Amino acid sequence: MVRFNLYSAEFDANPFDVYKELRDNHPCFWSEDAQKWVLTRHEDVLNALNDWETYSSAKGNLVDEFPGRAGNTLGTMDPPRHDEVRSIVQSVFMKRNLNHLIEPIQQIAKGAIDNCIGDRKVFDFAEDFAGEVTYKVLVALLGLPETDDPTEVKKNALLMVQTDPKTREKGPEHLKAFEWMKDFAAEVIELRAKHPGDDLVSQLITAELDGRKLDLIQVQMTVTTLVMAGIESLAGMLKVFGYNMAVFPEQRQKLLDDMSLLPDAIEESMRFNTSAQRFRRCLTKDVTLHGQTMKKGDFVILAYGAANRDERKYPNPDVYDITRNSKGHVGMGGGTHTCLGNSIARLAMKTAMEVFLTEIPSFSLAEPEDRLEWVASSNFRSPVKLLLVRD
């Protein structure tokens, strides 16, 4: 009997065999381990993403949700309230010319390169490059206070995306991290209210559309989510891209021979090794799918990582091919809840990896692939550490 046990280290490391079994034989699957339904085919996941009226986010979108978060972030609202809040937040994002971020990100990436070169040939791409770039980009983008040691922020962001594998719930340490991050967000909001700048938090505080503004809890929860998701999502995507470049040297060489393929390589990375693996929805009515009846009130896991490996959508889906047309992948979600920061994330990845591959074009894993530790998360997937050796 197939199991969908997303609370095991084995599943964190390799969910893809289980995904294929579910897609082929149990496309609408009740998981006893998760106590939720699981959809794994691309068509089904995309249909659910586009049908917010049936697959609601209002009770939370994290597989294991935090108390008090649902209904106060964009990802946990449904229209029409979602559309009202998103229009305000989106107006802030759209005011920024993304091209103005290229040079600062280049400088951040060049600074991070210093952590990866020098006397030592082995470095931790996850911490030395991806983590460094991500945090400093967030400092510049959100107006976070600058610090020489962002360890606490990173540690709590990582704890927030984890779940206790034994209880299969958020444990005391995860709830404490959530409270810490909310307090941190409140401090950032207070700082930017007193000293506004050209950053997203300063603009979120004052932004309004047709006379409507965000209330304080919405600003706080939005900033909390932006920091948590920013650190795990952007760093996760960078880590996974670095991993793909290390384990598929022929694809890396193809990219080095033609750097115009970098945007395609990034899209293929988001398809092939999706960082945001799974999010949940709650059914507002009974739904019958593939001979199974899911009841109103049931939670449903939308397995983005499985949908992106669906052979019904992509030929040879288990092959990483940077020349593939990866259009239509759900690595950034879809429908009403498409990731609002997707343009910024793509720009940051492209800009940072251009710098990295120019400075360090040849590298490989410094330890066997089966020794990699993956983040213990029911939502996200990326290596905790990624030790690379410069060739």
Query: Which of 29-38, 163-172, 251-260, 304-313 is predicted with the least confidence, judged by mean pLDDT?
Result: 163-172
Taking CA atoms, 195 is separated from 31, 146, 188, 342, in Å, by 49, 14, 10, 28
Segment 282-299 shows an average pLDDT of 99
pLDDT, average across residues 138-166 = 85
For the cut 70, the answer to whether the pLDDT of residue 231 exceeds it is: yes
Q: Is residue 2 part of a domain?
A: no
State yes or no: pLDDT of 228 exceeds 70. yes
Is a pLDDT exceeding 90 seen at residue 20? yes
pTM value surpassing 0.85: yes
Count up the domains in the chain and report the number.
1
Domain residues for 40?
Answer: 9-390
Which among 244, 297, 231 is positioned nearest to 270, based on CA atoms? 244
209 pLDDT exceeds 70?
Answer: no
- Quick one: average pLDDT of 9-38? 96
Q: What is the CB-side half-sphere exposure of residue 1 using CA atoms within 13 A? A: 7
Q: Which two tokens stand for residue 358?
A: 């120019």
Asked if residues 52 and 318 have their Cβ atoms less than 8 Å apart, the reply is: no
Instruction: Specify whether the CB–CB gap between 66 and 82 falls below 8 A.
Output: no
Give domain status of residue 385, yes or no.
yes
Q: Give strand pairing partners of 323.
A: none
Report the relative pairing of strands 387-390 and 122-124 from DSSP bridges: antiparallel
- Residue 328: closest CA among 246, 267, 287, 280: 267
What's 151's domain CATH number? 1.10.630.10
Residue 289 lies in a domain: yes
Residue 202 predicted with pLDDT over 80: yes
Instruction: Name the nearest CA neighbour of 382 among 269, 300, 302.
Output: 269
Distance of alpha carbon 387 from the chain centroid: 21
Say if residue 386's pLDDT is above 80: yes
- The pLDDT of residue 68 is 84
**Residues in the chain, total:** 391
CA dihedral 369, 370, 372, 373 (to 10 degrees): 160
Q: Residue 247: is its pLDDT beyond 90?
A: yes
Residue 288 within a domain: yes
pLDDT of 168 strictly over 90: no
Contact present, 229 and 61 (Cβ < 8 Å): no
3 lies in a domain? no
In a domain, 1, yes or no: no
Q: What is the pLDDT of residues 174-200, one digit of tens each?
A: 999 999 999 999 999 999 999 998 888
Residue 286 forms part of a structural domain: yes
Using a 10 angstrom Cβ sphere, with 0-12 exposed, 13-18 middle and 19 or more buried, the burial of residue 178 is buried
3-state secondary structure (DSSP) of residue 41: coil
- Calculate mean pLDDT across residues 342-357: 95
Mean predicted confidence (pLDDT) in 123-133: 96
pLDDT of residue 96: 63
Phi-psi region for residue 60, left (φ > 0), alpha (ψ -120 to 50) or beta? left
Secondary structure (DSSP) of 326-368? -TT--BTB-GGG--TTHHHHHHHHHHHHHHHHHH---EEESS-
Mean of pLDDT values over 66-80:
85
Model confidence band, residue 206 (pLDDT cutoffs 50, 70, 90): confident
Segment 99-125 shows an average pLDDT of 93
Residue 149 confidence (pLDDT): 73
Mean pLDDT of 295-307: 98
pLDDT at 58 over 90: yes
Structural domain includes residue 104: yes
pLDDT of 382 higher than 90 = yes
Q: What integer is the mean pLDDT of 90-107?
A: 80
**Judging by beta carbons within 10 Å of its beta carbon (0-12, 13-18, 19+), is residue 295 exposed, middle or buried?**
exposed
Q: Say if residue 84 is exposed, middle or buried (CB neighbours under 10 Å; 0-12, 13-18, 19+).
A: middle
70 has a pLDDT exceeding 80 = yes
Q: Cα(306)–Cα(312) distance, rounded to whole angstroms?
A: 11
Burial environment of residue 120 by CB neighbours within 10 A (0 to 12, 13 to 18, 19 or more): exposed
Structure tokens at 187: 């401090």
C-alpha distances in angstroms, 302 versus 165, 238, 271, 331, 390? 20, 23, 15, 12, 38
